[in-house]
Amino acid sequence: MPKVKLDHFRRAAVDIGTHGDNDTLPFDIDNRFIKQNEEVLANIAFEFCRELIQGSAADARKAISSLNIFSERLLAPTGPAGFRITTKIHPFWNLYFNGLGIAIAEALEPIRSARAHSYRFALQGDGLFVKDASWRAFREATVAECIAQREGAIVVQTDISSFYEHVSHHRIENSINDLFQGDGTVSAQVDRFLSRFAAGRSFGLPVGGQCSRILAELLLSLVDQQLTDAKLMWRRYVDDFVLITPTQAEAYRALSILAHSLADYGLTLNRTKTILLTSKHYLDYVRTQLGTAGDETNKLLEIDLHFDAYSDTAQSDYEELKQVVGSLNIGALLDLELQKAQPDAFSVSQISRTLKLHEPKVAIQLIRTLLSQQNLHAFRASWSTIMRGIAQVRSDDTFRAIFTDLDQLLDAIPSHSPHLLTAEASQLHYLRTIRFTRTDVRAQYVYGIYSSTTSQTVRRACIDCWGTWRDRPSFTRERNKWNSLLPDEQRMLWFAAENFDDEGQKFRTQVRNSLAQAWQLGIERPNKPTFAAVYAAWNDT
């Protein structure tokens, strides 16, 4: 029977420490804390989970419900004009939630259909998911099956309407119970966490974290099973479905089976994205998406920009990646996107990921194009990746020659494009790029945002800027408000104190005895390590 193990929490800690806690938000300092304290945090999580598993499902539900678990819903841009909600979760509870998710993924993976291409769990190795299980592999598999069909086949392409927002917690709970064969404590915990993250609602998955991806695959595996039982030819990547049928009539039948199956779980098809194509038209469409061999845009899209600095061949891998990027005319590719009525978000994002691989003179030319007042709104859908790429350049001293020009471009954004800084996620990415040095423009922007926002996560990012700038007046002002700060803000101020010499040390001495209570999780046990103690000790080193 599947069980939750210490290794599940270890893998959760390693993943968060390496890749971050939320892929829609900047890398948070708390992720570095998790990376450097993986073992002790995993043990705290496992000990608490073991206590709950030894009790009943009702006891587990009550225990989670009684805890003060911080989570915050933040607005993030998506697509050319839309928004979605992403969820920031307390670092420990995010680790804990992901650890439960990894246990679920391990139990689910052996029974998943090979026709589902998204987030295939890696039973071994460092990463959580198999790298070859990609959107591209999904598209290529549909192409291969289309080619194998007789001429005149019909392809249905569709997806689920607002999928994450409509996932039923009750359905998730039942599915976990099926996996864990009657041990209801795991499903009860997940159900209570989901309820807390959804502000008491009984539906919706938090966007941005790994456990949500796993739970989404868990639910859709039930739909996959029904499609297979109906002998349909299908492929899926997250909530994107492709059905391949011999005739138009069979296409409608297959689509109705999928619609009925989704309806069983409170889900519906997206009418605006449901289309029927002949196999020829579908092949032409996908080949255009994937690009043609030799095409520079396609070469850019195919580059795997993941770089493992801890690999045995790290230096040679990095040089090879730079050589591939250097062989492309990235500036021309960016200009090509600007000529389109709507730039391709993935292409712009991929260009942004290459910024750190160029010579400084080329990098600043690309950044100038990306951040210009005339272009930036058109690139709105790629804001987070653009800002990540710029933050990587700004943090690397090999680009020092362009820092002044880059800082001027960044300082101009609140004046010429303030609407792009409306969403909290956009503010966080921008704050990450301006944290490296103080200017009057930045100081005024940060003070204004801090004073007006209700988001703890944004306020933390402001405190991080003040700490990095060694802005003593701001630090003094906030330390004097210590007792009115919320725990997540206190942790960031505690961290920032290291930049203020004797004043910072005296401040830490004054508040140290209050940390055990102020930062408690509610799961502390006598003579056992605690989150608060581990965090305070980490900052002291």
Helix 424-434 and helix 403-416: axis angle, to 10°?
A: 150
pLDDT in tens, 303-357: 555 544 434 444 454 455 566 566 667 777 787 777 777 787 778 888 888 898 8
* pLDDT tens string 390-443: 999 999 999 999 999 999 999 999 999 999 999 999 999 999 999 999 999 999
Residue in 478, 374, 386, 384 with CA at minimum distance from that of residue 427:
384
CA distance linking residue 237 with residue 115, whole number of Å: 9
Q: Label residue 375 exposed, middle or buried (CB < 10 Å: 0-12, 13-18, 19+).
A: middle
Q: Cα(146)–Cα(283) distance, rounded to whole angstroms?
A: 7
Token pair belonging to 428: 């966080």
Average pLDDT taken over every residue of the chain: 91
Tell me which DSSP letter residue 121 carries.
Answer: B
What per-residue string of b and e applies to 498-526 under the rule 16 or more CB within 10 Å gives b? ebbeeebeebbeebeeebeebbebebbee
Q: Which residues of 181-207 are buried (b: 16+ CB within 10 A; e: fewer)?
A: eebbbbbbbbbbbbbbbbeeeebbbbb
**Between 298 and 275, the higher pLDDT residue:** 275
Q: CA separation (Å) from 264 to 226, 238, 250, 462?
A: 11, 18, 21, 45
DSSP of 489-523, one letter per residue? HHHHHHHHGGGGHHHHHHHHHHHGGGHHHHT--S-
Residue 480 pLDDT grade (very low, low, confident, very high; cuts 50, 70, 90): very high
Query: What would the DSSP string read from start to end of 221-286?
Result: HHHHHHHHHTT-EEEEETTEEEEEESSHHHHHHHHHHHHHHHHTTT--B-GGG-EEEEHHHHHHHH
Amino acid at 201: R
Res 125: pLDDT:
74
pLDDT tens digits for range 100-158: 999 999 999 999 999 999 999 998 877 899 988 888 899 999 999 999 987 889 999 99
Backbone angles phi, psi at 202, to 5 degrees: -100, 20
Task: Tell me the pLDDT tens digit for each residue of 150-190.
Answer: 788 999 999 999 999 999 999 999 999 999 987 889 999 99
Half-sphere exposure in the Cβ direction for 261 (13 Å, CA)? 21
Closest to 245 measured CA to CA, from 138, 150, 341: 150
Which helix (H) or strand (E) segment holds residue 77: the answer is strand 71-78
Give the Å distances, CA to CA, from 219 to 56, 165, 171.
Answer: 24, 13, 7
Pick the closest to residue 491 from 463, 472, 466 (CA basis).
463
- Radius of gyration in angstroms for the set of CA atoms belonging to the chain, rounded to a whole number: 25
